[in-house]
Amino acid sequence: MRCPPSRASFRVIMGRMMRVMALAVLLAASAASAGCAGTGDGHRPATVRAEVSSAIYAPIAQARADAAPLTEQEVFPAAALGAMKKESVALTADCAAVVGADVEGCSQVVRALFRGPEVVGQVAVFNLADVAGADALVQRFKQELFLTPLATEDAGTAMVRAMGHFVSVSWVSAEGDARRADGPDLAEPLAALDQASRFVQARILAL
């Protein structure tokens, strides 16, 4: 019988996954910055990289096994992520207001606004009933809906990821006069914001 990985082994596996995911975010954002995916549709990002949940998040596949509600401090404890400085954080049970459409099985969303040199962005984390609902929401983000702006977010690039019963959405775009063909590289700001999803590691280890 194969034994489950120890906590130390899990931390190593999770660390490797985070590095791989960070590289994927950098590559996706670099493609967007190079103009490989159009100009977006209204406020929707020009590129959206989407990933459904994986086996590493199986311990938190069901909200009933991970019942503690999200808090602002849990998801966004730091004043900055990389060069992106946190300006505001909000937690709401009105998931529909965050995307302009009903979100089945969603109990809460916590999201934060960030700004960096010439860029603006936001991160939103959705708390859903189960992994099936999370994966379905990822597909909806990929195909039909997106976050309502918190400030001047427009076009740009985004990363959407299901992690068990959670969905994390990171979105960055150029701001003001930086919205030009040779605008700022969005790869590093997006990778920085995507670090907010690391809160799930502590959740899994706590089970």
> What digits encode the pLDDT tens for the residues 108-122?
999 999 999 999 999
Question: Is 125 within 8 Å of 166 (Cβ atoms)?
Answer: yes
Question: Average pLDDT for residues 69-85, to the nearest whole number?
Answer: 97
pLDDT recorded at residue 14: 54
Residue of higher predicted confidence among 207 and 2: 207
**Cβ neighbours of residue 179 closer than 8 Å, sequence gap 6 or more:** 154, 155, 173
Residue of higher predicted confidence among 16 and 26: 16
- In sequence order, which ranges of the chain are alpha helices (DSSP H)? 7-33, 72-75, 95-99, 131-143, 187-194, 199-206
pLDDT recorded at residue 161: 96
Please provide residue 35's backbone torsions phi and psi, each rounded to the nearest 5 degrees.
80, 30
> What digits encode the pLDDT tens for the residues 146-157?
999 999 998 999
pLDDT at 186 over 90: yes
Distance separating alpha carbons of residues 205 and 57, to the nearest angstrom: 11
Please provide residue 32's backbone torsions phi and psi, each rounded to the nearest 5 degrees.
-65, -45
Question: Is 148 within 8 Å of 99 (Cβ atoms)?
Answer: yes
Question: Average pLDDT for residues 186-203, to the nearest whole number?
Answer: 95
Q: What is the DSSP pairing of strand 84-92 with strand 80-81? A: antiparallel
Mean pLDDT (the chain, rounded): 85
* Block residue for tokens 């959670």: 166
Domain ranges of the chain: 7-206
pLDDT recorded at residue 22: 46
Question: Average pLDDT for residues 174-198, to the nearest whole number?
Answer: 87
What percent of the chain is modeled with pLDDT above 90? Answer: 72
pLDDT at 16 over 80: no
Residue of higher predicted confidence among 139 and 1: 139
pLDDT at 180 over 60: yes
pLDDT-derived band at 6 (thresholds 50, 70, 90) equals low
Question: Average pLDDT for residues 134-153, to the nearest whole number?
Answer: 95
Distance separating alpha carbons of residues 10 and 105, to the nearest angstrom: 29
pLDDT recorded at residue 42: 53
pLDDT recorded at residue 89: 98
pTM of the model: 0.83
Distance separating alpha carbons of residues 118 and 177, to the nearest angstrom: 8
Angle formed at CA 91 by CA 85 and CA 95, multiple of 5 degrees: 120
pLDDT at 103 over 60: yes
